[in-house]
Amino acid sequence: MAYVFYLTQRHQRTFSLGDSQLAKHYLSLNNKSVYADFCYIEEIDGASKDYCDETNTQYPCNPSKGYYGRGPIHISWKFNYGPCGQSNNFDGLNAPETVPNDPVVSFKSALWYWMLNVRPVISQGFGATIRAINGAIECDGKSPSTVQARINYYTDYCSQLGVDPDSNLSC
């Protein structure tokens, strides 16, 4: 199946996604605003959080920038902004605000994260995609109500698309 996503009026990309992968991808884009249907392009209270990780020296922090969640998948942490910026032609470490402010960069960043971190585990079921995106803060009993809300959305999307939600729904 091929689906066309309109990123802006001038930029259009076609992506091939099959069966339940489309529902997984859509939900990952709606991941951080699971209750809001794309209302938040920046993490709520994200600017007040420290996502620098001084122990990771490959991508040095800019002390005047915040590396909190932004964009459809809400990439966060400097170790994501650095390589994401390199891959998508923006300065992720010194201008992370580009992600929510430029719609093309925003969706390129979401697709970059998806292809690098989520797509490799998609055959393991929806629970593996939750773990790939938010495992450290949601899985293993850390936020069961959030995980259940994601499962409910996913099974609803699968139902609307007429596809089997597969097994391994939880993380």
Dump pLDDT digits (tens) for 106-140. 989 999 999 999 999 989 999 999 999 988 889 99
Average pLDDT on 68-78 reads: 91
Is 147 part of a structural domain of the chain?
yes
**Structural domain contains residue 127:** yes
Q: Which residue has tokens 């969640």? A: 69
pLDDT at position 125 is 93
Total structural domains within the chain: 1
In a domain, 105, yes or no: yes
User: Does a structural domain hold residue 116?
Assistant: yes
Residue written as tokens 């979401």?
Answer: 110
CATH number at residue 13: 1.10.530.10
Between 15 and 80, the higher pLDDT residue? 80
Instruction: Decide if 148 is inside a domain.
Output: yes
Parent domain of 117: 2-161
In a domain, 168, yes or no: no
Question: Is the pLDDT at 90 greater than 50, yes or no?
Answer: yes
Q: Which of 12-26, 32-46, 64-78 has the lowest mean pLDDT?
A: 12-26
167 in a structural domain: no
In b/e form, how buried is each residue of 6-42, taking b as 16+ CB within 10 angstroms? ebeeeeeeeeebeebbbbbbbbbbbbbbbeeeeebbb
Give the whole-number percent of the chain exceeding pLDDT 90: 54
In this prediction the pTM is 0.76
Look at residue 169 and tell me if it is in a domain: no
Residue 1 CB burial class (10 angstroms; 0-12, 13-18, ≥19): exposed
Q: Give the C-alpha separation, 144 to 171, whole Å.
A: 9
